[in-house]
Structure 1
Amino acid sequence: MSELDRLRDAMRATERPDAVIDLARVMRDGRRLRTRRRVTGAAAATLAAGLVAVTGVTVDPSGSRDPAPTEPAPPVAVASPSVGVAPTSDGPTPPPTKARGVPGPKPLGQVIDTGIRHGVERRVYYVVAVTVPGVPKVTIGLAAGRRAPDGSVSADILVNDVEGADRSPGFHQIGYDESASTPAVPTFGYFVGPAERITGTAGGRQVEAAVARWSLDKQVAIFWFDPATLAPGVRLDGIVARDSAGRRL
């Protein structure tokens, strides 16, 4: 006989005039039944949470998958414009550290004017010297700044590598402006190699970047995305560089 049946049997005893009701037993069985229902409910909730956690994960028995149409966008390493970024411990990349409109380090080579205006100021990008402890082959970073009407340049964001070499072929760190500050900094970065065209993908659509060469090393292609085409802070899903013949680099 189940606990529920025993409880019902005890309660039916009230229908017999000569019956003696074991009230303690009725209360004990009732508490036991309620406890079991609560435990069962909690277990069901745990199972449901587990199913939600794995929803959308599909395993291919062959272990193969279609190649991504573009290279994943490089990570971002961002610092105050006055100092290079040192390697950090494992974990998510911290949000950008910004110093709006502060005098930046001295530009190396020419300052690139994007033609993007922020009131009377103009958006510019330029290479600066950085030092990353323990990483001797990282000596340059890329700053996003603004040029005032008097010609002075202030910096908003600086990105630089935190490992390897800053002139190794391919894409390097990309700068995203995820703050609510204004004016927002258009997404930017640099590629080392003969890139003539750089395109990214975001939200399933393709966006094209403007490209300019660094005056001190023509292999360094500095690029940025027009904020009207790619809103600042929107992460790229992938990015591709092509040479003058349209070949993917």
Structure 2
Amino acid sequence: MSELERLRHAMRATERPDAVLDLAAVMREGRRLRTRRRVAGAGAATLATGLAAVVVVVAVGASGPGDPAPTERPPPVAVAPPSVGVSPMPEKWPDPTPPPTVARDEPPPKPMGQIVDSGVRHGTERRVYYFVPVSVPGAPKVSIGLAAGRQAADGSLTTDILVNDVDGSDRRAGFHQIGYDEGSAAPVPTFGYFVGPAERITGTVDGRQVDARLVRWSADKQVMIFWFDPAQLEPGERLDGIIARDGSGRRL
């Protein structure tokens, strides 16, 4: 006889006129029935938990046949869902070259005025200096830059270094930006420009003086282009000082 049947039998005994209610038996059987229901409920919850654990194992990594069964109350496992609409970053882009900020086929700036030949040769190319137009945000009085380039036999130009002011005026009296070689394909002799009636420009390095070669810019006779012979001043070597003098030897 099951627990439920025993409970019903104990309760039906009260229906007979001569029967005496055994209250203790009824309560005992009722407790036993409730206990069985609680145990059954816990077993159902355990089964549901076990199924959830199986789903996680299958999704993350299947367990082998010899692995232990999941515990009754496994700790909660959070599995992040894959991102939607986001592709993984490739280990290497098809083209490692970053996209250009300017057009690749954009022609180089056209020289302003005459191109100055320095007399220095790099194979079949000659080292030249020339001014080109520039635009500096916030500096409306800066419109020219001095370039050190190479000119091929066909007349084409390759610019190695371009220097220009970043504020003020590019025609103020005195020295402006000086260009130094920084590991170019062909060494660039130190160069720059001076505005004023200069007839001699002398640089100082390691206590010795080195004279620069000078050529007036064809577009403005007040602008003097200068550079140092690489045999006297190694390209890239920094000057300790530089001065300009007029035809009378007076320092400008």
- TM-score, normalised to structure 2, is 0.57
User: Does residue 194 in structure 1 map to residue 186 in structure 2?
Assistant: no
Structure 2 SS opposite 1:134? coil
Q: CA deviation at 1:119?
A: 0.7
Equivalent position to 1:140, from 128, 133, 144: 144
- Counterpart position of 1:37: none
Q: CA deviation at 1:103?
A: 6.1
- Counterpart position of 1:211: 214
- Distance in 1, matches of 2:195 and 2:221, equals 9
- Distance in 2, matches of 1:104 and 1:220, equals 23
Alignment length, in residue pairs? 149
Q: Following superposition, which runs of at least 4 residues in structure 1 exceed 6 angstroms of deviation?
A: none
> Percent identity over the alignment?
72
User: Does residue 153 in structure 1 map to residue 133 in structure 2?
Assistant: no
- TM-score, normalised to structure 1, is 0.58
- Counterpart position of 1:107: 111
User: Does residue 234 in structure 1 map to residue 209 in structure 2?
Assistant: no
Equivalent position to 2:127, from 112, 123, 130: 123
- Counting only pairs closer than 5 Å after superposition, residues 34-183 of structure 1 correspond to structure 2 as 104-179=108-183, 181-183=184-186
Deviations 1:43-99 (A, max 9, x none): xxxxxxxxxxxxxxxxxxxxxxxxxxxxxxxxxxxxxxx99xxxxxxxxxxxxxxxx
- Counterpart position of 1:70: none
Deviations 1:115-172 (A, max 9, x none): 1111110000000100000100000000000110111121111000011100000000
**Given the superposition, is the C-alpha separation of residues 165 and 183 from structure 1 closer, same or farther in structure 2, using an over 3 Å criterion?**
same
What is the RMSD of the two structures over their aligned residues, measured on CA atoms? 1.7
Which letter maps to 1:142?
A: L
Structure 2 SS opposite 1:206? strand
Structure 2 SS opposite 1:177? coil
Q: CA deviation at 1:247?
A: 1.1
Structure 2 SS opposite 1:154? strand
- Distance in 2, matches of 1:104 and 1:223, equals 23
Contact 1:129–1:141 (CA<8 Å) still a contact in 2?
yes
Which letter maps to 2:118?
A: T
- Distance in 2, matches of 1:244 and 1:204, equals 24
RCO (CA 8 Å, sep 6+): is it higher in 1 or 2? 1
Deviations 1:5-24 (A, max 9, x none): xxxxxxxxxxxxxxxxxxxx
- Distance in 1, matches of 2:231 and 2:107, equals 27
- Distance in 2, matches of 1:162 and 1:134, equals 9
Q: CA deviation at 1:192?
A: 0.1
| Gap regions ≥5 residues in structure 2 | 1-100
- Distance in 2, matches of 1:182 and 1:144, equals 12
Contact 1:103–1:153 (CA<8 Å) still a contact in 2?
no
Structure 1 SS opposite 2:224? strand
